Amino acid sequence: MKGELLYEGKAKQVFQAESNNDQLVLSYKNDATAFNGEKKAVFSGKGKYNNLISARVFDYLREKGIPSHFVRSLNDSEQLVEKTTIIPVEIVVRNLAAGSITRRLGIEEKTVFTPPLVELFYKQDELGDPLINDEHAMMLADVEQVELKQIKAMALEVNKHLQAFFENINLKLADFKLEFGRNKAGDIILSDEVSPDTCRLWDKDSGAKMDKDVFREDLGDLLQVYNTILQRLEAAV
Ligand code: TMP
Ligand code: ASP
**How confident is the model over 87-140, as pLDDT tens digits?**
999 999 999 999 999 999 999 999 999 999 999 999 999 999 999 999 999 999
Residues 6 or more apart in contact with residue 6 via CB below 8 angstroms? 14, 15, 16, 24
Percent of the chain residues topping a pLDDT of 90 = 99
Closest CA to 143 of 193, 182, 93, 178: 182
Ligand nearest to the CA of 98: 1
Report CA(179)–ligand 1 centroid distance (Å): 11
104 φ, ψ (degrees, to nearest 5): -65, -40
* Closest atom of ligand 1 relative to the 99 alpha carbon: 2
> Mean pLDDT, to the nearest integer, of 202-206?
98
pLDDT for residue 26 = 98
Dihedral over alpha carbons 96, 101, 102, 108 (to 10 degrees): -40
Which amino acid appears at position 120 of this protein?
L
34 C-beta closer than 6 A to ligand 2: yes
Indicate if the pLDDT at residue 28 is higher than 80.
yes
pLDDT in tens, 49-90: 999 999 999 999 999 999 999 999 999 999 999 999 999 999
> Mean pLDDT, to the nearest integer, of 178-201?
98
Candidates 8, 10, 28, 36: which one to mutate for ligand 2, based on the most atoms within 8 Å of Cβ? 36
Q: Where are the beta strands (DSSP E) in 46-196?
A: 70-75, 78-82, 85-86, 89-96, 112-122, 131-132, 171-182, 188-191
Taking the whole predicted model, whether its pTM rises above 0.85 is answered as yes
Question: CA 77 to CA 74: how far, in whole Å?
Answer: 8
